[in-house]
Chain A
């Protein structure tokens, strides 16, 4: 079992729809959770982070964390074609090491 698993894409949604990206992790000691967006040929860009159970909203993005279920998700509302990218889930323990999932490729169709 991988330490961090993301739903295997690719995921395709129409413009204006909600895109839902999911991530599960195996280390119960994980403390912080990050979502990165990576466009083809570019480096990952941090878009959301969450430390506590519940929801965290930032503009069109909402991160959800459930530590009991070891589950973190990212919702993108009103998806735009510019949101088309690979989304990486990263989980960080108290030692500071980050473990990344393989990523989910999202395509938003106009």
Chain B
């Protein structure tokens, strides 16, 4: 079974631009969560989508948004990029939402904001 895939793997943008990241979950998984990982803040939860609905949201500004499609693929968008948005963005998929399902991570998208 193929794992979680994320595209693109690397991205370089300048301040003020916007970016869209894509995540395809493991086949059969309907929940997709997004995380930001930085050396200073560690792994921080952005949001979770299940059946095209946002189920949970972390403490990030409204510049960070996402959506999920009917095939469970998810996109994350960051508008008006700031230098501090430079990070590894990870998505993780699981079968269901809720507390008992294991999450499996994709390889991540490394975003650099200049």
Q: A residues near B, CB below 8 A?
A: 30-32, 34, 36, 42-46, 49, 51, 88, 90, 92-103
Contacts and interface: CB of A to CB of B under 8 A. Distances in A.
B27 to A, nearest CB: 17
A45 B105 CA distance: 7
Interface stretch (B11-19, B63-71, B77-85, B96-104): B96-104
Contacts of A42: 107
A43 B90 contact: yes
24 contacts: A36-B105, A43-B90, A43-B105, A43-B106, A44-B90, A46-B102, A46-B104, A90-B103, A94-B99, A95-B55, A95-B56, A95-B99, A96-B33, A96-B50, A96-B101, A97-B45, A98-B45, A98-B92, A98-B103, A100-B35, A100-B43, A100-B45, A101-B42, A102-B42
A92 B58 CA distance: 13
B25 interface: no
Interface string B20-44: 0000000000010101000000111
Given A43-B107, A49-B102, A96 B56 contact: yes
